Amino acid sequence: MAKRDDEFWRAQAGEYVLGTLSEREMRRFERLRARDAYYCDMADEWERKFGLLAEALPDIDPPPELWTRIERQIAGAPARPSLWDRLGFWRGFGLSAAALAACLLAFVVFDQFAAPTGPDVERTAVLSDKTSPAWLVTVDSSGRRLTILPLREVSIPSGKALELWLVRGKGAAPISLGLVPSAGRRALALPELAAASWPQATQLSITLEPPGGWKPGTTYGPALFAGAIKSHAAR
């Protein structure tokens, strides 16, 4: 029996979950998934990981124009052209959707969500500012290897650096986990202190610091991003 290309099928599973496969590819994957647990497991893993991102997205209230239009249609009055009817809105909406799809597809193509294996638990955090998610952080089951992945472009002021922190319970000093890359994925090996502190950790945060990071004895920089730590069984 020919050896399966794990990377190819993992990418196919991710696109299947996103719904970006062609109709022919979708039908093929569904047939494979129906008769082989190998493909089921891959799709289930992507659903779980994309679900973590979905949970981190902020709630968005419908614009007032939408409710006004619905009320007019219910009442039988002709609806005045609104934001939803204008070409410019749909063009902008399409660009935003395309950007989101491109971001998610990047995860598929480069397999950034590949989870490490282990008998214990893994940890994940999506760090956001006041607008949207900006970083995805995953920690393997040993608690000593961390991966940082940007979810969008983040501008770092000249002469500054971003530093990642493990925030523990009340009264405990945060633990620096290293500097955050301005772009691209980065893997960090963590000290034993960080590995031992995960059970007490509540969230991760990113602060703005001088080049080279925070120096002991100085004040911490402003926190720009933060996210709760979620624990789940290792695969």
Three-class DSSP category at 168: coil
Of 78, 95, 113, the position where a domain reaches its end is 113
| DSSP summary character for residue 141 | T
Residues 144 and 106 reside in one and the same domain: no
The predicted structure's pLDDT at residue 221: 92
For the stretch 70-129, pLDDT in tens is 777 777 655 555 444 554 544 454 444 444 554 555 444 444 444 444 446 778 888 888
Please report, to the nearest 10 degrees, the dihedral formed by the alpha carbons of residues 189, 186, 123, 163 taken in order.
80
Residues 5 and 65 reside in one and the same domain: yes
The fraction of the chain above a pLDDT of 90, given in percent, is 11
Residues 127 and 96 reside in one and the same domain: no
Number of domains in the chain: 2
pTM score > 0.75 for this model? no
Contact criterion met (CB below 8 Å) for 136 and 103: no
For the stretch 143-166, pLDDT in tens is 888 888 888 888 888 889 999 999
Of 73, 96, 113, the position where a domain reaches its end is 113
Query: Which residues constitute the domain of residue 202?
Result: 121-233
